Each structure stands twice: as C-alpha cells, then as structure tokens.
Amino acid sequence: MVIQRIRRFAAGVAADHAARPRTALPNWLLAPGVAMLAASLAAYVAFLRDHPFVGTDFMMYLGATHAFLDGQPVYQLGYTSMGLPYTYPPITLPFLVPLTWFDDRVALHIMNTLGVLAMLAALWFTTRMLGYEGTRGRLGLVAATGAILVWTEPLQRNLGLGQINILVMLLVVADLALSDRSRFKGVGIGAATATKLLPGLFVLYLLLTRRIRAAIVATATFAVLTLLGAIIQPGGSYDYWLTGRAFDSHRVLMILSPRYGGNQSLQGFTARLLETDQQNTIWWMLSVAVVLVAGLALATALQRHGEEAMAMVVVGLTTLLISPVSWSHYWIWIGPLAVVLVDVVRRCHGRARVLAGAVAVAAILPFLMWPGPYRGHVIPRGLIWRSGTMDGLARRLAVDAYVPTVLVLFALAALWLYWRSRRARTDVPAVPNAPAVGVAGS
C-alpha cells in the first residue's frame, strides 16, 4: 500500500536528466577554482605532517585481505589492535588484493589519493546531471567545491581512517549520470550494493521512477557479483550471508553504545535524545518508517520534475538516516549536496537568491572542521567531536548536528518543489475557448 501511494504520488513520465536544459559555465571559474583547491590541499598536507593518517579501517581491510589470501576464516577474526571485524561482503576482498603489494603506509596513501580523486569525479558527474556545460567552467566549480570539502569532517574522517566510502558513492553517482537510455545504467548501483549494502535503496528508487530496466540491471549486477564472491570464497560467503553477519549492527557498533557521537543515524539521534543504550527501539523503527517513505516520495517527485541530482542526494542521505549505524565518515554525500545547493542559488533571483545562499551556507557549516582542543593542541575538528567541550543545549546541538540539518533540508526541498509546481501552474497562459466546429448546411 505504501509503495502504491508513492507510485501514485510520482504519477507521470519520469524525466531523463539528459533532457535537462544546458547551462554553460564561464571559463573564468577555472583559475580561481584550481587555486582554491591547490591552496586547500597544500594546507591539508602541512596539517598531516604533525597529524598523520592513522588508517585504522584501512589496516582492517589489509588484515582481512591477508587472511583471505591465507585461507583463514575472514569473518571469524578481528583485525588491528582493536579487534575490528571485517564488515564488507566477500566479493570485495579480491579487489583489495593489489593494495597488499605495497608497504602499508604507501597503500594507505594510494587509497586516500583515490578517495580524493573519486570525490572530485563525483562532483564532476553531479555537474553533468545538473546540465552544466563547458569543461573549464565545470572543472572550476568542481575544484572550488572540492577545496571546501577538504575541510569537512566526513571527508577528513574518511581519509584519516582510509575508508572506501567515497569510491562506493562514485559508483552510484556515475551510474545515475548516465542517460536512462544507456544499457549500462544500473551496473554502478548494483556494484555499489554488492560492495556495501546501503546503496540498495537506489534500486527501489529506480523502480519508483519507472526505470525498470536499470533496476533489473542493478539487481542482476548485485546477484552476479555476490555469486562470484560465493564461488571465490564459499566459506566466507556462508559466514557473511547465512549466519546473520551481513545485517548485524552489533558487529559494526562492537562495544559502543548506539548513542555514541560518531553514529549519525536516526538510531544514534533517537538514542541520544532518549538517553538510552538500547538498540532498535520502537521510536527508532517509527522514525525510520516515516523518513524512508518521505525520503523516497520526495526523491521520486524531484526526479519527475527533472531534478535528478537533487533526488540522488535525497536518496543518498536517506540511506544514512535509516541505517542502524551511520558513522560520520559515511556522510560524504555532502559533496554532491554542496554542488546541488550551489545550483539552487544560481537559479534563484533577487531576495530568493540571498535566502538560498544563506540556506546553503547554513547547511554546510555543521559539517566543517572547526578549531578545537585535542590532546594539548588546537586543531581542526568536526563539530560533533567538539561537543565534549560544550555544555547544555550547545552540546546537544553539536553532537546531533547532522540529522536535524538533513531533515530541515528535506522539508525545504519539499516546500521549494511545491512552490515551483504552484508557480508553474499559475504561469501557464489561459487557453481561450475554441469556437464550435460544425458542418455547414447540416
């Protein structure tokens, strides 16, 4: 019944973003954009000299890959000094093998370089979905946005841990940037889902927006890769898929409480709000149901109105909200979000542009790195990690910065879409009554 209502809400032919009006970006954006990115990266490299990457998660990847190569039960072991479990599907392990050919630190730098490039590529594909043209102008916009993103908590957390989240996101963004007529549409989403289960929500999004072939391709890609993983590692596939490990959030949280500040999901938010350490509470389940339906309905309506990039961001952020555990480094969807916000500002005029600009700035501020004390030093830290130095309402707002920000953005996107629809109806000129047509002499 819920799905049928969403489908009715999205009634009409889904719009292919390839048909979106083209907008040429000025060439002059390239020079300042590249200068901003170069300066930002240089400052970040200087910061790393005193505060190098730890790469905890990356070392877990390497440990699991070595166990895979040695024929050990990957999912029954713990890795690094923290005893971290490997939480990704078996098919991911063969793709990590090349990283074992290098020194651990060199491999970590390779992974993080790929991560930065993947973020820039995701921004590039997002500009394509928005209908932007002009290689130099697009590169300038991507570079300028990337310069800001370098100093956001989700991206720095990804790099510090050596995570693969940005690469997974790129698979989804590149896939949705394809024309709906492409026979390969769905491959990236299927591969992303086979790598990390959360992108599976995009398959439902494809169905709701009536791109059945792409949804079938995504499902088939996921099935083929999962089957290939079972062939390569039958024991590991049994441990992962058939013993409940794939969907056990306790393995991800380990000894941590769901209200741990790094868990920026609805479960973490409700646990902190209710001050409980219990997982899967009725309040969390209800909030997930509401946000899931609302998020998919909003994304479907946006796509129907030609806003594929905005719809993509809504679905990506919805996956983070409804997941039992969404570490802060999962929130790299703020990259495409930033480009979409810039596009909204560009399309507004007068006072509306000022308001849209204020919303865009306010939306990114919670994700930025802010100077704060850490082990006797003052260094850039995410707002959620600075909450420990705050009290009262300020502490609550800081530690829960991500979820409310996104929920407010969803509400504003719905209002913006409603306003656009009403304006479009009122702007349609009235059609005069046509004269009656008859047959002379009848």
CA atoms within 13 A on the CB side of 435: 3
| pLDDT(401) > 60 | yes
Global pTM reads 0.90
Instruction: Identify the pLDDT of residue 1.
Output: 52
**Residues paired with 380 in a beta bridge:** 371
Q: What is the mean pLDDT of residues 101-116?
A: 95
Instruction: Identify the pLDDT of residue 279.
Output: 82
Q: What is the mean pLDDT of residues 62-85?
A: 92
Q: What is the mean pLDDT of residues 34-61?
A: 93
Instruction: Identify the pLDDT of residue 428.
Output: 55
Mean pLDDT of the chain: 88
Instruction: Identify the pLDDT of residue 440.
Output: 38
User: The tokens of 267 are what?
Assistant: 């479960």
Instruction: Identify the pLDDT of residue 152.
Output: 95
User: The tokens of 97 are what?
Assistant: 């093998």
What is the identity of the amino acid at 187? V
| pLDDT(442) > 60 | no
Instruction: Identify the pLDDT of residue 337.
Output: 98
Cα–Cα dist 287/267, whole Å: 9
Assign 251 a pLDDT band (cuts: 50, 70, 90).
confident
Instruction: Identify the pLDDT of residue 438.
Output: 39
Q: What is the mean pLDDT of residues 114-142?
A: 96
| pLDDT(11) > 60 | no
| pLDDT(155) > 60 | yes
Cα–Cα dist 102/116, whole Å: 19
* Residue 370: Cβ-neighbour burial (10 angstroms; 0-12, 13-18, 19+): middle
Cα–Cα dist 384/250, whole Å: 22
Q: What is the mean pLDDT of residues 41-56?
A: 90
Please tell me which residue, 171 or 10, carries the higher pLDDT value: 171
Tokens 């004390």 found at? 373
Strands 369-374 and 132-133: unpaired
Instruction: Identify the pLDDT of residue 253.
Output: 67
Phi/psi of residue 377, each to 5°? -125, 160
Q: What is the mean pLDDT of residues 339-360?
A: 94
Q: Which residues contact 259 (CB under 8 A, 6 or more apart)?
A: 268, 271, 272, 275, 276, 277
Assign 255 a pLDDT band (cuts: 50, 70, 90).
low
**Residues paired with 84 in a beta bridge:** 79
Instruction: Identify the pLDDT of residue 159.
Output: 95
| pLDDT(433) > 60 | no
Instruction: Identify the pLDDT of residue 97.
Output: 96
Q: What is the mean pLDDT of residues 268-294?
A: 90
Instruction: Identify the pLDDT of residue 4.
Output: 55
Q: What is the mean pLDDT of residues 23-28?
A: 92
| pLDDT(256) > 80 | no
Q: What is the mean pLDDT of residues 13-28?
A: 74
Instruction: Identify the pLDDT of residue 13.
Output: 45
Q: What is the pLDDT of residues 363-386, one digit of tens each?
A: 999 999 887 766 666 777 788 877
Residue 79's CB is within 10 A of a number of other CB atoms, namely 21
| pLDDT(108) > 90 | yes
